[in-house]
Amino acid sequence: MSKRVWSVLVVALAAACGDDGGSPVIDAAIDAPVIDAAIDAAVPLDAATGQVWIRGTGITGAGNQIVLAFVGRLDGGPLGNICQPVTADPFSFVAAVQTQGVDPCTLTGVATIPDGTYTVTAGIYTPGQQTPTRCATTTVTVAGSGDVTLPAFGACP
């Protein structure tokens, strides 16, 4: 991967209370790689087998929020996710999908995702909230590795 700027940003993110499978609550400290430079969607990333990269470009009006994106089977079940604090307006990033620890922003290592087609569901979350303010959904096909650019964020279903 080309230049990477590391930002340490303290935000809050903890898993939703109870076992209702609800959305995350934003409440814990994270360290997340952030790329503030413009991102060329055509440039492929170096990826290991089973690695998926998620790109977000030109995200506006989301300062001090967090982008969460989950890669899951078409019939449900998450395989990994990314957690990116929004540090600029407009904001762009590239992040490798990782395995999740106790909450969506406690990431434990790069996820290995088998070949196949998966749903990518993303949301922009305000700290302290369980419901995203905006959403985006797309798919990614992994054939060795995968690279997906999120579509524009819009109203949540």
| Domain 5-148: assigned CATH number | 2.60.40
CA distances from 107 to 45, 79, 90, 155 (A): 20, 12, 25, 27
Output the pLDDT for position 77: 81
The residue extents of the domains of the chain are 5-148
Tens of pLDDT along 94-153?
A: 999 999 999 999 999 999 999 999 999 999 999 878 999 999 999 999 999 999 999 999
Q: Are the C-beta atoms of residues 79 and 73 closer than 8 Å to each other?
A: yes
Q: Are the C-beta atoms of residues 145 and 47 closer than 8 Å to each other?
A: yes
Q: How far apart are CA 82 and CA 70, in angstroms?
A: 7
Quickly state the pLDDT bin for 81 (edges 50, 70, 90): very high
Kindly give, in sequence order, each residue whose CB lies less than 8 Å from that of residue 95, ignoring residues fewer than 6 positions away.
32, 33, 53, 54, 82, 84
